[in-house]
Amino acid sequence: MMSPPKKDNVFRALDRKLGAVAEFTMRQYRTKLSTWVILGVGAIAIFIVVLFYVDSMQQEIEAIDNDGDSMDWDGDGYPTGQERIHGTDPDNPESHPGTFNPPIAPDPPEKWINEDDFDWDLTASGDTTAGYDDDGDCRLADSTQSQKDNNRNNIECDIILDYNEMRGEWSEPNSDRLVDEDPDEEKYAKEAIHRAFLLAIGKMGFVFLLGIFLPLFLATGLIREEMDNSTIHFMLAKPIARRDIFLGRIVGYLGIVWPYIIGMGIIVAIISGFAGPGDSFFRFADLGMWMAIIFATMLATLVYGMLFCALGTLWKRGIILALPFAAWELGMAILSFGAPSTSILRFSVIGWSLNIIDAASLVVWPNMGLFISMGMWGGGHGGGGMWDDSLEGANALSAFASDTGLGISPIATIVVSTLVLLFQAAVLWLVGSAIFKGKEIE
C-alpha cells in the first residue's frame, strides 16, 4: 500500500501536532472551573501580602533621636547638640550660645533629630572608609586627636568598613565617635522593607507558592485525567508519539500558567514601583528584579510541571507523590536563606530558581551586604552588642537576602541556573514520557 504523500518536513508536522495538543489543553483548562479557582486563590494570596506591604509603606516610622542631642538637659532652651558645637556646657544652664555677642538663637529640638544620617557611598565597592560627620559633633575644635580618630586609621571622623572575604560578609562597622550616629530611620526602614518585600514575595510568593502550587494542581492531572476518563484513547490512536503528547500537554499548561505569572508579576511590580520609597515617582531600577522573579517562577513552573505530570502519569494519586517533593522544596527554600552555598541545594529545583533572584538582587542593588550591615549597626549605639541597635527593616532584609551561593558573578549565576533548570526539565520530560510510554491503558 501507498503511504500518504509527505506535505512538508518532519519538524513542521511535529510542530502542528504539538501545537494542536497544546491548543487543545489550553482550551480544556479554560473551560474548567477548577483552573480559575486555583488561579484565583493564588492571586488572592499574593495580593494579601501586597496589601500588608502597601500598608507598611504608608505608615510613618517614628524619627528617633539616637544620640540624645535634641534634649535640653540643663533647661536653658538650647539642645545639647547645638551647645556642643558652640563649645558651651550642655549641663550648665548659665552656659549657652545666648550669652555670645551677638547672641545665637536656640535651634528647635527637631533640628537635632536624624541630623547625622549615613553617608556611605553604596556604589563604590572595595572602599574601606566611609561616613561624614554632618552635624559636626565629631570635628569639635576642642576634641583631641585621639577622640576624633578613636578607630585609629589616621582618618578623622570616619567609619572603617571591612569586607571579610573568608566569611563572605561585612564585619561590624568600626566608627569614630559621633559619626553618622543619628540616621534617618524612616529613610532606611522604607528602603529596607521595600527590598525585603520584593525578595520575600519573589522567593516565597512567586517561586515557592505559585511555582509549586500551580503545577501541583494544574500539571498533575495533565495525562492522568485523560487516562482516567478514557479520553486518552482518541489521542493514542492518532499518529503522534506519546512523548509528543506529554510535551504538548505541558506546553498547553504553560500557555495558561506563564501568562498568569507574567501578568501577576507586572501588576505587583507596578504597585510596588509606585508605592515604594524613593525620590522618583516610580522605581524603575526594581524592574530588573521583577524580570528575574517572573523568569525564575516561569522556569520553576516548567520543571515542577514536568515532574508532577510524570508523577500523575505514574500513579492515580500522583498528588500524594508530589507532596513530599513540595515539602522538600520548602525545606530547601528555607535553607537557601541562611546557607545559600549548601551543596544539598543543588539537588533541588527551588535552590536554582532562588539563585536567579538572589543574583538579580545583587545586580539591581549593589552592595546589598553593606546596606544590611549599615542597618544592623544603626549608628553604633549598641555599646558593642549589648543590645540590638539595628534600624527597623534591617533584620527583615537580612532574613530574605542571601548570596547566590555559587561563588561566581551574578550574571554567570543566572546563566548557569537557567541552564541547570532547563536540563532538569528536559530530563523530567524524558522520564515522564518513558513512564507514559510504558503505561498500558484499558
Partner 1 sequence: MGKLKPSSGSIKLFGTDPWKNPAPYARVGFVPEHEKMHDWMTAHGFVSLFARLNGLTREEAKSEADRVLNFVGLTDVAHKQLGRYSKGMRQRVKIAHALVNDPELIVLDEPLQGCDPLARTTIMNVIRELGKMGRTVLVSSHILNEIERITEQIVILHNGRLLALGNLHAIREKMDNIPHTISIGCENPKELAKDIINNAAVYGISFPSGDRLQIQTHNLNAVHRELPALIVTNGHKVSSIDNPDDDLESILNHLTGGLAR
Question: Which stretches of the chain bind partner 1, using CB under 8 A?
Answer: 1, 3-4, 7, 13, 16-17, 19-21, 24, 27-28, 31, 229-231, 233-242, 440-442
Question: What number of residues does the chain have?
Answer: 442
**Rounded to whole angstroms, how far apart are CA atoms 177 and 157?**
7
2: its cell numbers: 501507498
Shortest Cβ 272–partner 1 spacing (Å): 38
Residues with Cβ within 8 Å of 397's Cβ and at least 6 positions away in sequence, in order, are 192, 193, 195, 196, 199, 371, 372, 375
> What phi and psi values does residue 159 have, to the nearest 5 degrees?
-125, 130
Shortest Cβ 239–partner 1 spacing (Å): 4
Quick one: which of 216, 320, 253 has its CA closest to 32? 253
Question: Which CB atom, from 89 or from 228, has the smaller least distance to partner 1?
Answer: 228
Question: Which CB atom, from 233 or from 316, has the smaller least distance to partner 1?
Answer: 233
Residue at grid coordinates 550660645: 97
Question: Which CB atom, from 65 or from 226, has the smaller least distance to partner 1?
Answer: 226
**Rounded to whole angstroms, how far apart are CA atoms 442 and 230?**
8
Shortest Cβ 427–partner 1 spacing (Å): 22
Question: Which CB atom, from 44 or from 237, has the smaller least distance to partner 1?
Answer: 237
**Rounded to whole angstroms, how far apart are CA atoms 291 and 224?**
33
**Rounded to whole angstroms, how far apart are CA atoms 176 and 151?**
6
182: three-class secondary structure by DSSP: strand
Question: Which CB atom, from 233 or from 317, has the smaller least distance to partner 1?
Answer: 233
Shortest Cβ 41–partner 1 spacing (Å): 22
368, 308 contact by CB (below 8 A): no
Question: Which CB atom, from 129 or from 230, has the smaller least distance to partner 1?
Answer: 230
Question: Which CB atom, from 3 or from 146, has the smaller least distance to partner 1?
Answer: 3
Quick one: which of 203, 172, 192, 173 has its CA closest to 338? 203
Question: Which CB atom, from 13 or from 363, has the smaller least distance to partner 1?
Answer: 13
Shortest Cβ 15–partner 1 spacing (Å): 10
Shortest Cβ 312–partner 1 spacing (Å): 18
Q: What torsion, rounded to 10 degrees, do the Cα atoms 308, 311, 313, 319 define?
A: -80
246: its cell numbers: 506529554
DSSP string covering 121-152, please?
-TT-TT--EE---TT-SSS-TTS-HHHHTTT-
Shortest Cβ 320–partner 1 spacing (Å): 24
8: its cell numbers: 512538508
